[in-house]
Structure 1
Amino acid sequence: MNHPIPILVFIYNSYKDPLFQNLLLQYIKTLSQNGNYRFDLITFEQPQYALSIEETKLETNELEKYNIYWHPRKFHTGRFLLFKKAFDVISTFFQIIRIKATYKTRYIFAFANVAAAIAVLFSRFMNLKLVIYSYEPHSDFMVELKLWSKQSWNYRILHWLEKMAAQHASDIMTGTIHMVEKLKSEGIKANLYRAPTAVDPDTFYFRPESRDQLHQSLGIDDQHVYIYPGKFGGLYYEREIIALFGQLYAQDPKSYFLVATDYDKNQIHSWFEEENIPTTSYHLRAFIDAAQIPDYLSAADMGIVAIPPTPSQKFRSPTKVAEYLLCGLPYITCQGVSEDDEYATDHEVGIVVNDFSREEISKVYPKIDQILALNKSELREKCRKVGLDYRSRERVDHLLQSIFK
């Protein structure tokens, strides 16, 4: 019997982070089912995604059915950030040396740019082929959203490492044609693939029973339901999300808002109150477990993509759009975000705004009203068809099988 191909999977997210659960983990499991691999998975665990000892044991046993061996590490943040990140890199370096020596690891598979910026160091020193999934200019995002300055060491170091990662990667999968063209113009020699973030169409689909159950349990009658399952602040809009809801409610008091986030709940409740949105017109809860997301999306009529339209956002590929479309949901997004704005307009599956200002929402509301008035079954079918073409995971699965064969 041939020995399995050993691959180190490196992410700078927590194991239970929905981004990992809904994307990379599913791709790895599919690879495992269709080939002979050993995956050593390194994650960095944050408190909000913490698992109990028993939960960790259950997850570990489940992963091993797919030849995935999990090595969780602690995520460090706060003061003296650069020193903490340096500690993460150095301590992980020795762990990877042990893994490589034991299993003759050949590839390091990095998820997104922060992980890639660290993984390139391991790749160079240990002669590992670097494969990057979801290459996006994270350092530029942080500057454009005024979280860092271009003079800061955080920016300088990450930006330099991102460039190095692109230069030394063997394969780069990125979400948009915009980034493929940018990397080509910079003379990057890696194999480049346009691979928008995608989800499993056998998991993400409209579920009428779930819609009925959630509408009944939440007391939703004939209202128009908007959903936002995501983060507030950082790389996303913050107070502006609830301001958008406030304008939608002012235009249509039959609006209802589903929000799932780990943000401060008291703060969000106060924002809803400031927008004069009664508690009977919204539901606020913690992040939704990955398995339940299609249920909640099925309960909605329109999804929200809360990414501010700064210049580098055209290189992003938000997972939410894949989830929305495959569950039959149109969406609201900003001009210049990914290729999602183009698909929304060209295929009439969404609304594009310049920003989340009240003026913008008021201006486009007739288009929102027009979409909400369409036959729901026909609209769902149309959105799903576009989603299957644009954001189904089959193409990503095939690319990964080709890369690691």
Structure 2
Amino acid sequence: MNLLFLSYWGLEDPLTISTVFPHLRLLQQLPEVKHILLVTIERGASATKELQFAPGFAVDKITFSPLRSRQNQPLLLNKIDDFVRFPNELIQLVQRHAIEVIIGRGAPAGALAYLVWKKTRTPFLVESFEPHADYMLESGVWKGYDPRYLFQRYWEKKQKQLAVGLMPVAENYRRKLIQEGIPAGNIVTVPCSVNVTDFSYDSASGQRVRARLGIAADAPVGIYVGKFGDIYYDAEAFDLFRDAAAFFGPQFRLLVLTPNPEAEVRAKLTKVGFTAEQVFVTKAPHAEVPNYLSAADFAFATIKPAECRRFCSPIKVGEYWAAGLPVLLTEGVGDDSDIIKQEGGGATFNLDNPATVPAALERIGALLQQPDYREAIRALAIRHRTVARAAEAYQQLLLPLAAQHA
């Protein structure tokens, strides 16, 4: 069977590295899969640069072909152009490589897979299937009249009707899809997978990071990884950092790994009372993130609440857990908030109920006093976030298609 694996992100995007590459490694090991064509969507600077597919894959089994977004035009026009051009380019790739099944990573990639299906009837599956249109609407990123919202919502409806398999990232969403009438046999929940080995706590690495940054070995350290704004809290996140500093005292240190401009982030930290010595801000390569996690004691996951947030699976939570870090997480996020309440692994807060913030910090503080807290939390990542769930999904949804093409 020949597969086309479509990532909606660029080859060097941390989301591709952390969520797509582990699944490619699984797929290349399946004897039923003869060839995989990896297709990424390159925007910005990466749209014009020479890209090299990462090592560690069977080069005789996986080839790489990027789709390059046009530059120097407004974002809305750029996205519209993408969805006009890319389906035709994908159809050419499907024909040239004799593709028998398309796997789209995320509902926007699933939309492109559906548009290819309209012309070629190539069966498609959608990984990480979430209500993306609702995410963007409820987070205030898109308006209800935005063409991106209207088209994406329609394309998600068509994916539900026509995809041969859907892999939602949360059990909450699987149940909702079944209620909507989608056959249960076509749906397998696959939370965003994490390489637990790569992200496991490494005491020596953590000590080296602390020494390099001038952080005392006994200082309580919180870490935040990711963007501010869009579907994530912005000003509210910095208020939460301030509350944590007040709770843990003057020794508290904060690590922020973010693609947001460093000067802007530092200005916001200063505004809520942090000194330059109390914080470290950088944009770290994905491969270096585990070292910083090992230098921390707990982590922040400040995701804006919304009804559809019950259906997501933040990759950062899995990475935090793999490093043995308790997570301070917004209430109502995916299955993770329920896991924290039922199995441990951190504490949840709700900014509509301010009393939950000091209570959550108290819970984090209590967890840090437990001598084996890292091992217990790492077990959550093994139980809920390993690629074993993806392997099960491929067995149920993909291999029957392989048998049809044998």
Same fold (TM over 0.5): yes
Q: CA deviation at 1:125?
A: 1.6
- Shift in CA distance, 356/257, structure 1 to aligned 2, threshold 3 Å: farther
Number of the residue aligned with 2:4? 8
SS in 2 for 1:95: helix
Distance (whole Å) between structure 1 residues aligned to residue 54 and residue 345 of structure 2: 40
Q: Identify which of 14, 26, 33 aligns with 1:18.
A: 14
Find out whether 1:367 has 2:363 as its counterpart: yes
Number of the residue aligned with 2:342? 346
Distance (whole Å) between structure 1 residues aligned to residue 275 and residue 47 of structure 2: 33
SS in 2 for 1:328: coil
SS in 2 for 1:124: helix
Number of the residue aligned with 1:97? 91
AA aligned opposite 2:270: E
> 1:147-176 CA distances to partner (integer Å, 9 max, x unpaired)?
222233221111111111111100000111
Number of the residue aligned with 1:131? 125
Number of the residue aligned with 1:198? 193
Matches within 5 A, 1:311-326: 311-326=307-322
- Shift in CA distance, 79/138, structure 1 to aligned 2, threshold 3 Å: farther
Number of the residue aligned with 1:332? 328
Q: Identify which of 242, 251, 255 aligns with 1:246.
A: 242
Number of the residue aligned with 2:286? 290
Report the TM-score, using the length of structure 2 for normalisation.
0.91
Number of the residue aligned with 1:180? 174
Q: Which runs of 4+ in 1 moved over 6 A?
A: none
8 Å contact kept, 1:108–1:123: no
SS in 2 for 1:194: coil
Of 288-297 and 103-112, more deviation after overlay is shown by 288-297
SS in 1 for 2:160: helix
Find out whether 1:300 has 2:303 as its counterpart: no
- Shift in CA distance, 145/67, structure 1 to aligned 2, threshold 3 Å: same
Find out whether 1:233 has 2:229 as its counterpart: yes
Q: CA deviation at 1:371?
A: 1.7
Q: CA deviation at 1:98?
A: 2.4
SS in 2 for 1:120: helix
8 Å contact kept, 1:7–1:107: yes
SS in 1 for 2:29: helix
SS in 1 for 2:382: helix
Matches within 5 A, 1:118-157: 118-157=112-151
Number of the residue aligned with 1:84? 78
Number of the residue aligned with 2:214? 219
8 Å contact kept, 1:309–1:335: yes
AA aligned opposite 1:250: A
AA aligned opposite 1:280: E
What stretches of structure 1 of length at least 5 have no aligned partner? none
- Shift in CA distance, 49/241, structure 1 to aligned 2, threshold 3 Å: farther
Of 73-82 and 19-28, more deviation after overlay is shown by 73-82
Number of the residue aligned with 1:161? 155
8 Å contact kept, 1:120–1:130: yes
Distance (whole Å) between structure 2 residues aligned to residue 202 and residue 313 of structure 1: 28
> 1:178-219 CA distances to partner (integer Å, 9 max, x unpaired)?
111111111124710111111122322111111111111111
8 Å contact kept, 1:23–1:197: yes
Number of the residue aligned with 1:37? 34
AA aligned opposite 1:323: E
8 Å contact kept, 1:244–1:357: no
Of 357-366 and 292-301, more deviation after overlay is shown by 357-366
Find out whether 1:270 has 2:267 as its counterpart: yes
Distance (whole Å) between structure 2 residues aligned to residue 50 and residue 275 of structure 1: 38
AA aligned opposite 1:195: V
8 Å contact kept, 1:309–1:355: no
Distance (whole Å) between structure 2 residues aligned to residue 343 and residue 61 of structure 1: 35
AA aligned opposite 2:332: G
SS in 1 for 2:223: strand
Q: CA deviation at 1:32?
A: 0.6
- Shift in CA distance, 255/51, structure 1 to aligned 2, threshold 3 Å: farther
Distance (whole Å) between structure 2 residues aligned to residue 167 and residue 148 of structure 1: 24
Distance (whole Å) between structure 2 residues aligned to residue 282 and residue 70 of structure 1: 40
SS in 1 for 2:26: helix
- Shift in CA distance, 285/83, structure 1 to aligned 2, threshold 3 Å: closer
8 Å contact kept, 1:134–1:174: yes
> 1:41-71 CA distances to partner (integer Å, 9 max, x unpaired)?
2211133667853xx24x3676562622211
Number of the residue aligned with 2:383? 389
> 1:280-332 CA distances to partner (integer Å, 9 max, x unpaired)?
1111001x222222222111111111211111100000111111111111101
Q: CA deviation at 1:90?
A: 3.2
Q: CA deviation at 1:37?
A: 2.7
- Shift in CA distance, 202/271, structure 1 to aligned 2, threshold 3 Å: same
Distance (whole Å) between structure 2 residues aligned to residue 143 and residue 97 of structure 1: 30
Distance (whole Å) between structure 2 residues aligned to residue 87 and residue 151 of structure 1: 19
Number of the residue aligned with 1:73? 67
> 1:227-258 CA distances to partner (integer Å, 9 max, x unpaired)?
11101111111122221111111222222111
Distance (whole Å) between structure 1 residues aligned to residue 71 and residue 299 of structure 2: 31
Number of the residue aligned with 2:253? 256
